[in-house]
């Protein structure tokens, strides 16, 4: 591999608060928030809306996900079609 062309790849904790699920993995994402993990080390914390623990495809249960805020923001930004 060539040096200095790849992004920083480091341990990150992803948390799905709707399912009370968290996982420590490696990623290029960064965050200002940190969390102390079970091993006693501190890692960047990234919050996600859906994960395999809460996604209807994997759980077999339908959950209502609030997307109204996204739709309203899109309509404000680009205008509502007439």
pLDDT 10s digits, 6-34: 888 899 999 887 778 888 999 998 889 99
CA distance 12 to 35: 9
The 3-state secondary structure of 30-74 reads: CCCCEEECCCCCEEEEEEECCCCCCCHHHHCCCCCCCCHHHHHHH
Each residue's pLDDT tens digit, 37-66: 999 999 999 888 777 677 655 566 665 555
């Amino acid at each position: 591999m060539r040096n200095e062309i790849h992004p920083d790849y480091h341990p990150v904790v992803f948390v799905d608060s709707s399912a009370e699920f968290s996982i420590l993995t490696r990623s290029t994402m960064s965050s200002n928030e940190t969390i102390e993990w079970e091993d006693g080390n501190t890692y960047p914390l990234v919050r996600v809306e859906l994960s395999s623990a809460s996604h209807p495809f994997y759980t077999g249960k339908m959950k209502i996900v609030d997307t109204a805020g996204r739709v309203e923001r899109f309509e404000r930004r680009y205008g509502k079609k007439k």
